[in-house]
Amino acid sequence: MRTLAREIDGLELPAVEKISESSQEDPFQVLIGTLLSARTQDATTAAASERLFAKARTPDAMSKLTVKQIEKLIYPVSFYRHKARHVKETCRLLVERFNSRVPQTMEELLTLPGVGRKTANLVLILAFKSAKNICVDTHVHRISNRLGWVTTKSPDETEQALYQATDARWWPIVNLYLVTWGQNVCRPVYPRCSECAIATWCPKVGVARTSRARAVNSR
């Protein structure tokens, strides 16, 4: 993790990290940005979030948009119709049940439509500075298994296994480090193992083919 900390310095941050930074860790924008980011390229998430927040920055304002308006604003994020419905319904619930605030517990966050453990953990970490959560998306799941830290089949299983396998001081930043590494070096297909700064410690579990292309010097 210390090596990764050095190596990711200067690499592009994941979209939701940028949203969090630019909004001064506003829980609502982190929540909505994370909802939009599922299975979507970072550049698309960033642009869609910008359009949506330019129109409405609070649960009250966003709940007044129609699903069609939200669809138009967030297109072309993947599953934009589903996500538009989830955004609208989430805003309604935030207004009606949570006094227009994003709740601060895992249990309450999971009651919001489209919010799973990945989204809830990221909101708790980025917006509420929790040090007790690990946010596991497909990058974290894949790389943790390649590194041999865990042997798991699903992101939820990986999250639980990582609490056992890693030192608690790293929990809030596992996501930032591994997502950044996963987007630049340890990619889903053809990971750049020959360029990888942590290759010495990596058994490359399940890696069949790797890429020889330079990765890190493109920073």
Q: Which residues bind ligand SF4 (CB under 6 A)?
A: 143, 146-147, 185-186, 191-193, 196, 198-199, 202, 204, 207
CB of 71 to ligand SF4, least distance (A): 37
DSSP 3-state helix, strand, coil percentages of the chain (rounded to 5)?
Answer: 60, 0, 40
Nearer to ligand SF4, 94 or 143 (CB): 143
Q: Alpha helix (H) ranges present in 23-154? A: 27-37, 42-55, 59-63, 67-74, 80-97, 106-109, 117-126, 138-146
Separation of alpha carbons 123 and 218, rounded Å: 31
Could you tell me the smallest distance in angstroms from the CB atom of residue 114 to ligand SF4? 30
CA distance 90 to 107: 15
The single residue of 118, 129, 132, 153 carrying the catalytic annotation is 118
Is 18 a known active-site residue?
no
Q: How far apart are the first and last CA of the chain?
A: 19
Closer to ligand SF4 at the Cβ: 106 or 197?
197
CB of 147 to ligand SF4, least distance (A): 6
Catalytic residue among 26, 83, 88, 137: 137
* Closer residue to ligand SF4 in complex, CB, 106/207: 207
Residues with catalytic annotation? 118, 137
